[in-house]
């Protein structure tokens, strides 16, 4: 049995609620995989990162995967970049729709596309947060479950996957209907609610767009979401 949490997007209150649901269902020591996009859009990205750091330091069995928004944050801190060829909308990371401005605000830094405030951000973001994000894996395999932020290229074996695809891909992954060697558990592509597509489970229920953060529990290949009323089976 393993638990998974989709894209948090800077919402500490939603993360704490999801963790409370997990603890009520399975206890404090169960394994949990966080599917990335810890930051952007919500008001508490810094606090989300710190909560995850503290949980792992306290011995929680938590695996945290890198998301594309986490990488955008790292890219900005590295060289001040606010643009990415992978953002198909053409928006900058600091555009409110992308949410980088709120991530920096959670560290007390005011920034805009006209005034990125790189020096202030580098001074404000703790090195422990940077090291934490830099150390995140892009996928996590557990038996015949594969946890990844965005998905995989279904035409390639695991060892040939492009690291960029793991945090950015949509098609051909989302439109692939044939069986895969694993049940792929992912986020990245926001839905109204988590969905089970047979060969994959999308747990991005749109927490970054005003909806709930809904955790899931997986036993074998059986998936259920956790609600205040208990488990609700999530089937294809």
Read off the pLDDT of residues 98-120 as tens digits, 9 standing for 90 and up. 999 999 999 999 999 989 999 99
Q: Which runs of E-coded beta strand occur in 38-180?
A: 62-64, 139-142, 145-148
pLDDT of residue 195: 98
Please report which confidence band the pLDDT of residue 157 belongs to, taking 50, 70 and 90 as the band edges: very high
Percentage of residues of the chain with pLDDT beyond 90 = 100
Which pair of tokens denotes residue 5? 């949490």
Question: Under 8 Å CB-to-CB from 86, ≥6 apart: which residues?
Answer: 68, 164, 168
Give the pLDDT score at 172: 97
Q: Reduced to 3 states, what is the DSSP secondary structure of residue 157?
A: coil
Helix segments in 3-162, DSSP class H? 12-26, 45-57, 68-79, 100-105, 118-124, 127-134
Q: Report the mean per-residue pLDDT for the chain.
A: 97
Mean pLDDT, range 77-97, rounded to an integer: 96
DSSP 170: B
The sign one gets for the Cα dihedral 97, 55, 138, 185 is negative
| pTM of the predicted structure, to 2 decimals | 0.97
Closest CA to 34 of 42, 182, 46, 53: 53
- What is the set of domains in the chain, with CATH numbers? 2-233 (3.60.21.10)
Averaged pLDDT for residues 79-90: 96
pLDDT of residue 188: 98
pLDDT, tens digit (0-9, with 9 covering 90-100), for 27-78: 999 999 999 999 999 999 999 999 999 999 999 999 999 999 999 999 999 9
Q: Are 54 and 174 in contact (CB under 8 A)?
A: no
Phi, psi of 229 (to 5 degrees): -95, 0
Bridging pattern class, strands 200-202 and 183-186: parallel
Residue 202 DSSP SS3: strand
With contact defined as beta carbons under 8 Å apart, do 132 and 36 qualify?
Answer: no
What value does the mean pLDDT take over residues 137-164? Answer: 97
- Specify whether the CB–CB gap between 189 and 174 falls below 8 A: yes
């Amino acid at each position: 049995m393993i638990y998974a949490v989709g894209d948090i997007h800077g919402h500490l209150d939603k993360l704490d609620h999801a963790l409370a649901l997990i603890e009520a269902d399975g206890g404090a020591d169960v394994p949990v995989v966080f599917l990335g996009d810890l930051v952007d859009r919500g008001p508490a990205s810094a606090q989300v990162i710190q909560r995850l750091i503290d949980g792992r330091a306290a011995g929680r069995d938590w695996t945290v995967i890198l998301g594309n928004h986490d990488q955008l944050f790292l890219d900005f801190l590295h060289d001040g970049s606010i643009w990415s060829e992978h953002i198909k909308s053409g928006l900058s990371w600091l555009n409110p729709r992308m949410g980088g401005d709120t991530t920096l605000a959670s560290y007390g830094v005011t920034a805009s596309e006209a005034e990125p405030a790189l020096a202030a951000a580098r001074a404000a973001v703790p090195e422990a947060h940077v090291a934490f994000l830099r150390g995140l894996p892009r996928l996590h395999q557990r038996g015949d479950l594969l946890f990844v932020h965005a998905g995989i290229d279904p035409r390639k074996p695991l060892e040939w996957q492009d690291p960029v695809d793991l945090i950015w891909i949509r098609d051909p992954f989302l439109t692939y209907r044939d069986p895969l060697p694993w049940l792929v558990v992912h986020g990245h592509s926001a839905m109204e609610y988590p969905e089970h597509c047979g060969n994959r489970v999308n747990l991005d229920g749109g927490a970054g767009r005003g909806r709930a953060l809904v955790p899931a529990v997986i036993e074998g290949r059986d998936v259920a979401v956790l609600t205040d009323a208990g488990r609700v089976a999530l089937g294809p």
